[in-house]
Amino acid sequence: MSLLSLKGVEAFYGASQALFGVDLTVEDGEVVALMGRNGMGKTTTISSILGMVKPRAGTIHFAGKEIAGLPSHRIAQQGLGLVPEGRRCFPNLTVEENLLVAARGSDWTLARVTGLFPRLGERLGQYANTLSGGEQQMLAIGRALMTNPRLLILDEATEGLAPVIRQDIWAALRKLKVAGQSILVVDKTLSELLPVADRCFVLEKGVTVFEGKPEALTAELQDRYLGV
């Protein structure tokens, strides 16, 4: 049984349909890449999983339980940790407060997060709106980890970050993978994303059009589904 499984998910923004049938699975301990050009439904898929958009059709199971239709906080409590597009750190909270505000469970502690991201450890007392973009992304990841998620979901893991910082983020994700953390990740830089991923899903116009190992995503397929 998959940790996360979406079947035929359809979702709307108001009257306009954004997802027309998304299928997606994540197994325990796996890193899964969710790909597709802009506007193809990646963020809507993630919003549907987290209950921020209510799916109109299809099923979403997490750890064997149907979660579609539950309120966001109940879904998150099942063990989903979101790192949203645009990071969305709480600007009026300090780094430490951002990490503690939703903390649950005991595996992840402040010390473990600052071990993974030493730069956060140096800035625990600073307000989140004084951090650089890279530090905010580290904080958003740390904040999600503090909820001890069974599945970490990253929407645009490294968007808008300098190459050096991107390497830091990918290094941290690799460490998490080695530690057995299941991860669903969206990112635009295929050359950095594919080596980390165990499997990939590609969305086009709100439908899953490819599922398979990164190696199976040939240059031709990349060009067809992901090229600009």
Partner 1 sequence: MSAALLIEQLLNGLQLGVMLFLIAAGLTLIFGVMGLINLAHGSLYMIGAFACAAVAAATGSFWIGLAASLAAAAAAGALMEVVIVRRLYERDHLDQVLATFALILILSEGTRWIFGSFPLYLDIPPLLQGAVPLPGGGQYQLYRLAIIGVGIVVAIGLYLLISRTRLGMRIRAGETDREMIAALGVDIRTLYTVVFALGAALAGLAGAMVGALQSVQVGMGEPALILAFVVIVIGGIGSIKGALVGAVLVGIVDTMGRFLLPKLLALALPASQANMVGAALASMLIYIVMAMILAFKPRGLFAGHG
Tokens representing 74 are 């109940």
The reply to whether 130 sits near partner 1 by the rule CB under 8 A is: no
Q: What is the largest CA-CA distance in the chain?
A: 49
Binders of partner 1 among residues 18 to 77 (CB under 8 A) are 50-52, 71-73, 76-77
The count of chain residues that interact with partner 1, using the rule CB under 8 A, is 25
Smallest gap from residue 128 Cβ to partner 1 (A): 10
| Gap between the Cα atoms of 51 and 162, Å rounded | 31
Alpha helices in the chain (DSSP H): 42-49, 72-77, 95-100, 110-116, 118-121, 133-145, 163-178, 190-193, 219-225
Indicate the angle between helix axes 163-178 and 133-145, nearest 10 degrees: 10
Q: Which is nearer to partner 1, 50 or 200 (CB)?
A: 50
Q: Which is nearer to partner 1, 100 or 179 (CB)?
A: 100
Cα torsion 101, 176, 139, 202: sign: negative
Among 82, 139, 203, 217, binds partner 1 (CB under 8 A): 82
Q: Which is nearer to partner 1, 54 or 224 (CB)?
A: 54
**Complete DSSP assignment for 6-23:** EEEEEEEETTEEEEEEEE
Smallest gap from residue 69 Cβ to partner 1 (A): 15
Q: Which is nearer to partner 1, 2 or 94 (CB)?
A: 94
Can you give the binding site for partner 1, defined by CB under 8 A? 50-52, 71-73, 76-77, 81-82, 84, 88, 90-93, 97-98, 100-102, 104, 143-144, 147
